[in-house]
Structure 1
């Protein structure tokens, strides 16, 4: 008969940020791929205004893993209670809370309480230590982002490109999935290597061409949902001007054909602006530059996808 033991962990970190700003980062997991290095994708599955279920894709011990969470959000108390659904053994249970306390104007404390139930088997201590370390890493990451709250909006850029195709959605999704074949077919891709860790989970390394002909590499993790016509990705080595880059390719069928959308969400690296764009460049110029690059690269993918589906290329529409 297996023996289980409950471990209670606590971690607190102070932030030079208002309590409201820090709580917002805890409560909204959508931008976590831009803020937390190990987080690849989050997706809200259910939400009634107070209780949510969400899916979390993150790197665990060098591999990408998916976990399901249920959370109760209390904005008035600045508290979020959480519980993992169906944790993987030997972790039998994981729950706890995030709590944000106001220390003084412009100062707050983030408190993480974890209750982990672990089966006493070989390797259990490593699982327990890993779960605690990941919780602390999230707390430290959110604290670091919160301390940049005054200028954070200026560093975030989102954009989309879309195209209508009168062709089968399966063919379009196949082209987006086969990123390893993009070299020579997609204008800005000079080289592409793909490793599929398991069906639907890819690690891609692309060699990209800039407008001036120079080359820069990017690495990304891709999670593919063929039945839903979606591929979400996070670049673990993004464009030199970016601190983080995540996005999604989606194929949305309707009776007349499909709409293919490429979406990008990025976090600018403020310290790289002048290094990449030259002396005197500011964030406004960096935002314009990034939108131009991402738009151009999205269109370079969507055009061949349209041809691959057997449709003559039409004008692409920016969204």
Structure 2
């Protein structure tokens, strides 16, 4: 039974891919940050055979929100139901369902349902939520279609890699170096400008100009979530050329053998941009190598300076 003040929406899209492939991507929240533009980061808090409890950080109408949801996965019906446990204003309550409907063996319809209530049942709050649901649902469904159709075609634009620097020193000091990104222009040779805002502790927005070896600069804008003194995860909302998505993590570890920092990158390459950026004869393999070198070089430089700040490199 619906409650007074409850709003209902439905968005849908048709995908040229098998229903199972579509469902598997919806079910795997670990892939959401690289797939769905609004999703910054997802963590599984609990996981069972048919259900899970997750925490999500995502953008809504230009703001970063976080909430905890319960999800019920039904692979037999190809559906995933969700309900927020802890919502953020102006949302009072929200839930819904992903429904995957086979049309043919290679065509699938995806329906995304939402029901929500606004704080105080206010009309202005409800309108804010409606705009966010409409925008995010459309972006998510289109991104879902693009991702599963790439997989169905055997394309491979996703690149994941990591680099590690070991050292003898204080992990907390190394964490602080990466956390204090507003100081990077004075500390890192490849950072020309950095503006950091942190309206909530541990939730940062970083806009940065990075220098390339040829002297040019590019601007990125990222949301960063800091978990002292263990890790910093991030997603670029504004990416440089060759990328349609870029997520990453800074991991800080200490054990009996010493300390280490690891930088992890996951990138979705923009195949259509390759000729314009790297030349008419460039291939996707060339783009993978270029991005791997550029990101790896900058993150390794950052880790080396963090190590110098926190201790000394391990032989």
Q: Are the equivalent residues in 2 in contact too, given 1:233–1:248 (CA < 8 A)?
A: yes
> Residue 146 of structure 1 corresponds to which residue in structure 2?
148
The separation in 2 between residues aligned to 1:52 and 1:285, in whole angstroms, is 40
> Residue 61 of structure 1 corresponds to which residue in structure 2?
61
Are residue 161 (structure 1) and residue 163 (structure 2) matched?
yes
Q: Are the equivalent residues in 2 in contact too, given 1:4–1:117 (CA < 8 A)?
A: no
> Residue 173 of structure 1 corresponds to which residue in structure 2?
175
Matched ranges for 1:188-227 at <5 A? 188-226=190-228
Kindly tell me the number of residue pairs found equivalent between the two proteins: 311
Matched ranges for 1:237-248 at <5 A? 237-248=238-249
Matched ranges for 1:168-317 at <5 A? 168-226=170-228, 228-311=229-312, 313-314=313-314
Q: Are the equivalent residues in 1 in contact too, given 2:94–2:114 (CA < 8 A)?
A: yes
Mean Cα deviation higher: 246-255 or 296-305: 246-255
Mark the runs of 5 or more structure 1 residues left unpaired by the alignment. Answer: none
Shift of 1:151: 4.8
Q: 1:70 to 1:203 in 2, by over 3 A?
A: same
Q: 1:132 to 1:192 in 2, by over 3 A?
A: closer
The separation in 2 between residues aligned to 1:47 and 1:20, in whole angstroms, is 21
Q: Are the equivalent residues in 1 in contact too, given 2:168–2:258 (CA < 8 A)?
A: yes
Q: Are the equivalent residues in 2 in contact too, given 1:253–1:259 (CA < 8 A)?
A: yes
Q: 1:205 to 1:9 in 2, by over 3 A?
A: closer
Matched ranges for 1:32-181 at <5 A? 32-89=32-89, 91-118=91-118, 119-130=120-131, 132-133=133-134, 134-151=136-153, 154-181=156-183
Q: 1:210 to 1:132 in 2, by over 3 A?
A: closer
Mean Cα deviation higher: 119-128 or 167-176: 119-128
Mean Cα deviation higher: 296-305 or 203-212: 203-212
The separation in 2 between residues aligned to 1:305 and 1:251, in whole angstroms, is 11
Q: Are the equivalent residues in 2 in contact too, given 1:15–1:147 (CA < 8 A)?
A: yes
Mark the runs of 5 or more structure 2 residues left unpaired by the alignment. Answer: none
Are residue 18 (structure 1) and residue 42 (structure 2) matched?
no
The separation in 1 between residues aligned to 2:133 and 2:40, in whole angstroms, is 19
TM-score by length of 2: 0.91
RMSD of equivalent CA atoms: 2.1
Shift of 1:128: 4.4
Q: Secondary structure at the match of 2:303?
A: helix
- Deviation string for 1:186-228 (max 9, x for gaps)? 23222222222332222222221223232222221211111x5
Q: 1:87 to 1:190 in 2, by over 3 A?
A: closer
